[in-house]
Structure 1
Amino acid sequence: MQSNLSSADAVERIVGFFEHLSAADLVRIGELYSADARFKDPFNEVRGIPAIQGIFRHMFTALEQPRFVVTGRVVQGDQCFLTWDFLFAFRSYHRGVTQTVRGASHLVLDADGRITLHRDYWDAAEELYEKLPVVGGLMRWLKRRANQ
């Protein structure tokens, strides 16, 4: 990284953005991501700011009060690994009950401290599917069977 912004400072700015993210902030994603940034999680793989904005826009549409709490970070050169809790409530199932998904993000930064690669790691089966009706019961049964 060769700009005036150190990797640690860039990561601090990124963490602050995500911990206070609201739907209104989505227009500012270009301040954090490079124009051709890649984003991948268990459900999506996209490139470019409009597509990344779309992922987060869908999050605010589909869930109630989604928010991230960063619980740890490791910064080394132009790369960062963040651990986080994602808190939200379903809109139609268990309304108002806070759900938590625990995961991690691998970020690669460019010379200006913008994200060029954002890869999220979390266990969709344990962290999401087990919380859903019908599918959740099946997932818990499969887990018990696998552990016998």
Structure 2
Amino acid sequence: MTVLDRFSTMYADICQITLDDLADIYASNVAFVDPITTHHGLNSVQKYFANLLGQAERCQFDISMIAPVNSNSITHIVNWTMNLKLKQSDKLIVVDGNTQLTVKDDKIVYHKDYYDLGEMVYEHIPLLGFFVKKIKKRLAK
């Protein structure tokens, strides 16, 4: 099983993994970047996932495509839809995004997520969400 196969299996249902499972796909010196924060090293990524796993009741990624890239640094692009339900909310959050990966020696050394942070976070905060949706609607005209 390749690292991309292991990545797809793991992300299909993040809530079913253990923190030790992350070492099966990420290198010890991985750089993990998302719109909220950046983590350097496997230990930092494991702490990030510990926090996520503590808050999430459900976190599943439907990976629609993994494509190789001919680039000096990025080796693959992953398109996905995330379904996230937090323990303290009844609302299911659905967000489309993509990830840039760099794979070296069958481990991921670089992982960068791209998604709409407003769609994932801001739109679900009661008063702020109203204004974010209103602004997006106005910009779409």
TM-score (structure 2 length as normaliser):
0.86
1:89 aligned partner: 85
Q: Are the equivalent residues in 2 in contact too, given 1:11–1:80 (CA < 8 A)?
A: no
**63-72 vs 21-30, which moves further:** 21-30
8 Å contact 2:34–2:114 — kept in the other structure? yes
Alignment of 1:116-131 (within 5 A): 116-131=109-124
**Aligned with residue 53 of structure 1, among 31, 46, 49:** 46
Which residue identity does 1:98 align to in structure 2? L
Q: Is the 8 A contact 1:106 1:119 kept in 2?
A: yes
Secondary structure at the residue paired with 1:134?
helix
CA-based RMSD: 2.0
Q: State the Cα distance separating 1:72 from its structure 2 match.
A: 1.2
Structure 2 CA distance, aligned partners of 1:20 and 1:125? Answer: 23
**Counterpart of 1:91 in structure 2: which amino acid?**
K
The structure with the largest alpha-carbon Rg is 1
The equivalent position to 1:137 in structure 2, one of 130, 133, 140, is: 130
Task: Give distance in 2, aligned partners of 1:69 and 1:144.
Answer: 27
Match for residue 79 of structure 1 among 75, 81, 100 = 75
Mapped contact 2:102–2:110 kept (Cα < 8 A): yes
Give the percent of matched residue pairs that are identical in Structure 1 and Structure 2.
20
In 2: Cα distance, 1:90 partner to 1:84 partner:
19
Distance change in 2, residues 1:136/1:14 (3 Å): same
How much has 1:16 moved relative to structure 2?
A: 1.4
Shift of 1:23: 5.3
Q: Which amino acid aligns with 1:87?
A: N
Mark the CA change 1:63 to 1:99 in structure 2 (over 3 Å): closer, same or farther. Answer: same
After superposition, the Cα gap between the structure-2 partners of 1:98 and 1:84, relative to the gap in structure 1 and judged at 3 Å, is same
Deviation of 1:141 after TM superposition, in Å, equals 1.8
- Unaligned 5+ segments in structure 1 are none
Higher deviation after alignment, 12-21 or 118-127: 12-21
Alignment partner, residue 34 of structure 1: 27
Unaligned runs of 5+ in 2: none
Q: What is the aligned length?
A: 138
Query: What corresponds to 1:107 in structure 2?
Result: 101
SS in 2 for 1:22: helix
